[in-house]
Amino acid sequence: MTMTPDPPPRGQVSRRSFLQTMGVSAAAAAVQAQAERADAAQPSSAPTTLSGPGPIEITLNVNGSDRRLTIDPATTLMEALRWHAGLTGTKEVCDRAACGTCSVLIDGRLVNSCMMLAYDAQGSRVTTIEGLARPGSLDPIQESFIRHDALQCGYCTPGLILASKALLGANPRPTLDQIKKGLAGNICRCGTYTNVFNAVLDASGQSPLMDSEAPDA
């Protein structure tokens, strides 16, 4: 998934200082967000401050609100969400982008949160499974998953729902083949794919797959 970090908080940092920052970041693995803001407030020639290896403070915009977190600089977005923000609907399964279970939406795009540093998610809108439902009402894709029993143990479910949401955002009436390809990054071990396909077809106003007629028995 994306390895290109999104820029730090928009309007607060010039492109030049951002590039400087990221150059240092690549070498030193950590730069304090605070420093960037201070840097941005001043002319771009101001020196960049390094931080780490000790804890750093970051601000993540998750499900519409800013979360101030103190983390180890090497913390991935998945770890920050699970360990520090208490948002454990984002599951940890493979920790190397092979299963899609830690999927979140970053500015509407589907991303494996295990492959992104939490630091790099600053300035973007992060949506986790906890942010999909409105109080008192589920998102239509969540309703469709329930109706079609597109879940068993439930551990892959948040990732599959967000992948389906991203797919429908890009393609409101996907064919079965497009659904299969669109969800190919998400592993379900219990084996619910048939019902997931039906849930996505139904959520996009299409008929679920028809099975054979009843046996004579």
Partner 1 sequence: MRDHTPTDMPTRNRPMNRGASLADDASRLDAVAKVTGAAKYARDMYPADCLFVGFVRCPVGSGQLAARDEAAARAVPGVLEVEIERDEGRYHGQPVGHIVAESKTALRRAMRALDARWTPGPCSVEIEQAAGEPPQTQGDIAQLLERAQHVLDATYETPVQTHSPLETHGGMAIHHGDRAELFSSTQGTSAAADGIEDQFGLPRAACEIHCEYVGGGFGSKLNGAGREGAIAARMSAKYRRPVSCFTDRDEDHLDTGNRPSSRARVRIGFQADGTVLGGHIHTWGGVGVARGGGGCAIPSNHYDLGRIQKTSEDVQLNAGAPRPFRAPGWPQGKFAEELMLDEICAACGLDPVEMRLRLERSDDRRDMIRTGARLIGWNQRRPNGSGGAIRRGFGLGTTDWPRFPRQAEAEVIVNRDGSVEVRTGTQDIGTGMRTVAGVLAADRLGCGLERVNVRIGHSSLPPGPGSGGSMTSHNTAPAIIEAALQARNALLDAVGDRLGIPPDELSIQNDHLIHDQEPMMDWAEACAKLPRDAVIGRASSDTPQSQRHVGEGHSQGVQFVDLRVDTQTGIVHVDRIIAIQSCGQVVMRKGAESQIIGGVIQGVSYALFEHKIHDKATGTMVNPNLEWYKILGSADMPRIEPVLWTKGQTGVRSLGEPPTIPTAGAIACAVFNAIGRPVRSLPITPDKVLAALEGGGR
Tell me the closest approach of the beta carbon of residue 37 to partner 1, in angstroms: 25
Q: Does 89 bind partner 1 (CB under 8 A)?
A: yes
Q: Is 170 in the site for partner 1 (CB under 8 A)?
A: no
**Residue 62 in 3-state DSSP?**
strand
Which one of 16-24, 34-42, 44-52, 90-98 is the stretch in contact with partner 1 (CB under 8 A)? 90-98
The answer to whether the CB of 209 falls within 8 A of the CB of 198 is yes
Q: Give the HSE-up count for residue 188: Cα atoms under 13 Å, Cβ half-sphere.
A: 23
CB of 114 to partner 1, least distance (A): 11
Total residues contacting partner 1 by CB under 8 A comes to 75
Q: Which residues contact 215 (CB under 8 A, 6 or more apart)?
A: none
* Interaction of residue 64 with partner 1, rule CB under 8 A: no
- The CA-CA-CA angle for residues 185, 72, 45, to 5°, reads 100
Alpha carbons 68 and 63: distance in angstroms, whole number:
13
68 binding partner 1? (CB under 8 A): no
**Nearer Cβ to partner 1 (10/211):** 211
Residue 130 makes contact with partner 1 by CB under 8 A = yes
Q: Tell me the pairing of strands 109-112 and 103-106.
A: antiparallel
Q: How far is the CB of 170 from partner 1 (least distance, A)?
A: 16
Cα angle, residue 42 at apex, residues 41 and 48 outer, rounded to 5°: 95
Does position 202 bind partner 1 by CB under 8 A?
A: yes
Binding mask 20-59 for partner 1 (x = CB under 8 A): ----------------------------------------
